Amino acid sequence: MTLADEFESGTFTIKRHSFPAVSVCPPADKNSEGIVDSNTHLVGFQVAPAAVTSTAAPRNNIRVVNQLDDVQVDVGRVRELLVPANKSVAPAPPPPAPDLGTINVDHYKCYLARLSRGQPRLAQKTVT
């Protein structure tokens, strides 16, 4: 499959040992902020480059800002692809895959990352 983002684009394969999936990510209600889409989940599959053409975007000292912290990281190799999915906890068959034209959830290409040199360690936080 072809994947493209701000760091690189190219052809990737799903690693054989990653079936059925390496992660299942249900929507979470963090600190009672609510859930936008309670039906769509994400499942993660390990991917590996078949052939990659770098876009030469910088991959060190990338600033990442979110509700938990503001840090700089060095971005490494691709780790997994998160794919929108439906699931069922009942014995009945699960619903079909989400219709990508009607949901508001993207695919995500995930990279290994580590704190950039000189960055303080992340402070411990409590999330409810």
Nearest to 42 by CA among 124, 107, 115: 107
Q: What is the pLDDT of residues 56-99, one digit of tens each?
A: 566 899 999 988 889 999 999 899 999 999 888 877 777 888 99
Query: What per-residue confidence (pLDDT) applies to 116?
Result: 96
pLDDT of residue 70: 92
Which residues on adjacent β-strands are paired with residue 8?
54
Whether 53 shows a pLDDT value over 70: the answer reads no
Q: Is the separation of the CB atoms in 124 and 69 below 8 Å?
A: no
Domain ranges of the chain: 2-115
C-alpha to C-alpha distance for 53 and 19, rounded to whole angstroms: 26
Please, are residues 17 and 35 in contact by the beta-carbon 8 Å criterion? no
Question: Which structure tokens are listed for 73?
Answer: 């990281």
Q: Is the pTM of this model over 0.85?
A: no
